[in-house]
Each structure stands twice: as C-alpha cells, then as structure tokens.
Amino acid sequence: MTTLDTEPATPAATVDVGAVASFTITLRIRRFNPEVDPEPHWEDYQVQAYGSERVLDALHKVKWEQDGTLTFRRSCAHGVCGSDAMRINGRNRLACKTLIKDASPDRPITIEAVKGLPLLKDLVVDMEPFFDSYRDVMPFLIPSGHEPTRENLQSREERARFDETTKCILCAACTTSCPVFWTDGQYLGPAAIVAAHRFIFDSRDHGARERLEVLNDREGVWRCRTTFNCTEACPRGIHVTAMIAEVKKALLTRTM
C-alpha cells in the first residue's frame, strides 16, 4: 500500500486509490429540523475522504450519498461568496477553505451552525439581523455636492488607507464568533464595523460623520471588548480587531 507522507495519522479503514490514500472520517453534525425536533441534536456520519479535500466536500458526500435532508449554504466553494461559515471543531471557519487534514480527522470533526443568529435548519441561520446591522452603517459611497462629471480620483496612499477592509466577503464568521454578540444580539458586530471602516477612511466619501454617529451608539463600537475572536475567525485575514480600534480612534479624535 502506498500513502503520502503528508497524509495525517489515519484512523482505521484506509483505502488505496492510486498513489493517494483515502480514509474514513466521522462528521459529527448538529442537526435541527424545526418541523420535528424540539431541540438540535448531534448525529454522526462516516465518510470516505482524502486529507486534501475540504470539509465542504465531506458535507456534500453526506448530503448526496447518505441524507439528502442535510441543509447548509454554499455557493462558490472557493472562499469568495462567504455563504458557508460554520463552526468546525468549535471555531468559525469557511467549510470550503478548511482542509480535512487540518481538522483533526483522527477524531470526530464537529460541525454546527454559527452562534448568535436564529437557527433555521441544520447549519443554516437567519442572516437578516446580520444584514440589518450592515445596512445600518450605510455601506455605500456618499458623495458631496453635484453629480460628478468626471472620475473621482484618489492617490495610492488614499486607496491604501482602507484596502484591508475592502476584502470582506460578509461571511459573518467574525460577528458570530464575538461573545458580546452572543449575549447582546443588538450589538452591531465586527462585520458592520469593518464595512463602516471601508467608507469612513475613503477620501472620496462624505458620510463619515453619519456613520460615526451610528457607531457611537450604545450598541455600536464601544461594545467591543477586544477579545480578538473576530480576527482569529476571519477567513480573509482582515485584522478585524485593529480595524475596530481605528474606528474607535476616529470617534475619539473626530473634529467633524
């Protein structure tokens, strides 16, 4: 039998497929069907997988080969659309960016819906409260004066000022990893603050004053307790806690 050195220590039932070995993993998924279940419950599924596959691939195998009622969101499968954030082994991750070999496959891989948003079914939560907060910060460019008649230019340095927060894909991994958000669903949350940051520091935008007012609310930026869960969870590598700190500083030093 030939196995790759890079494969993890494999549990039982290793199977040869050419030069690469697949092995049996257990997905422990928190299931909930609101039509029949009074409470969510855990169910185990055995799946044959390769270490180089993603958790999303394993979820597809369960859905397509074992139980078609398993419900989860996904679209691009390449870390772009932000629709498959879930708790994998207790941490918020994108299922399409988490490799099986990195998810401790020698023991059951736990998969559950993100926390803090209403659970609809299995791994699907109601995202509306999340997008309500996003809309609250006015995530669009607010120009001043008349309609522009030519390009609104900015320097490289001005563009770089908010580059990091343009990378957000609105997956909600940050907001739903935040303990303040878990206990106070009214808190705007890290993702909304990241969205506000993207425009507050854009030299072409003239809505900073209004956005900062929204963020100065008692459920705004001051609710952040700097736990860094959001930064750890972000699949885009955004330093979310640092971005929140920049918005706090802008509020403290604002002259407008």
Residues that bind ligand FES in the complex, under the rule CB under 6 A: 74-77, 79-84, 94, 96
Instruction: Enumerate residues 107-136 that contact ligand SF4 by CB under 6 A.
Output: none
* Whether 175 contacts 185, CB under 8 Å: no
**Using the rule CB under 6 A, is 174 a contact of ligand SF4?**
yes
Q: Beta strands 20-31 and 109-112: pairing type?
A: parallel
Indicate the residue among 94 and 195 with the shorter CB distance to ligand FES: 94
Binding footprint of ligand SF4, residue count (CB under 6 A)? 17
Taking the C-alpha atoms of residue 72 and residue 102, their distance in angstroms, rounded to an integer, is: 21
Binder of residue 168, out of ligand SF4, ligand FES, none (CB less than 5 to 8 A by kind): ligand SF4
User: 3-state class of 196 per DSSP?
Assistant: helix
Residue 27 binding: pick among ligand SF4, ligand FES, none (C-beta 5-8 Å cut-off by kind)? none
Q: What is the 3-state secondary structure (H, E, C) of 116-178?
A: CCCEEECCEECCHHHHHHHHHCCCCCCCCCCCCCCCCCCCHHHHHCCCHHHHCCCCCCCHHHC
50: burial class by Cβ within 10 Å (0-12, 13-18, 19+)?
buried
Nearer to ligand FES, 81 or 138 (CB): 81
Residue 125 binds: one of ligand SF4, ligand FES, none (C-beta under 5 to 8 A by kind): none
The residue among 10 and 177 lying less far from ligand FES, judged by its C-beta, is 177
Asked whether position 168 contacts ligand SF4 by CB under 6 A, the answer is yes
